[in-house]
Amino acid sequence: MTTSTPPIPTTPTQAGPDIEPAWTAVCRYEELAPERGVAALVGGTQVALFRAYDGRLYAIGNQDPFTGAWVLSRGIVGTRGPRPTVASPLHKQVFDLGTGECLDEEGVAVPVYEIRERAGTVEVKVA
């Protein structure tokens, strides 16, 4: 008789109204190159992750709200004044990595997600 091992879950438990969303391990901190983006699928949500030169981490939605394409992780990372930003690789609209706000078009924003480094691992929380 053969016994099978239950599958290991690959996504966090879905959060209900009374359950706090879980942190999901995405990659090792050193795998994120400074000033480069990377896309990750976190609980069914595409997230664009960024590591700034100062070591800070940012996580925003990967979908460009102007075109619908999932490309913000491939954008040009920079700053506007003190604000860390990413410019869409398609039409170059600039988004604040901390707030998700589009700096070129009032009233447009992308989602921002909690991100942290813990014991060398980058973790993201998506509600």
CATH label of the domain that carries residue 73 = 2.102.10.10
Residue 1: inside a domain: no
| 8 has pLDDT over 50 | no
How many Cα atoms sit within 13 Å of 61 on the Cβ side?
A: 16
> Does some domain include residue 74?
yes
Would residue 34 count as lying in a domain?
Answer: yes
Query: Which is it for strands 45-51 and 57-61: parallel, antiparallel or unpaired?
Result: antiparallel
Give the residue with greater pLDDT, 14 vs 125: 125
Residue 36, domain member (yes or no): yes
Q: Does 11 reside within a domain?
A: no
**C-alpha span between 45 and 62 (Å, rounded):** 9
Task: State pTM to two decimals.
Answer: 0.83
The boundaries of the domain holding residue 45 are 23-125
Q: How far apart are CA 117 and CA 92, in angstroms?
A: 29
Number of domains in the chain: 1
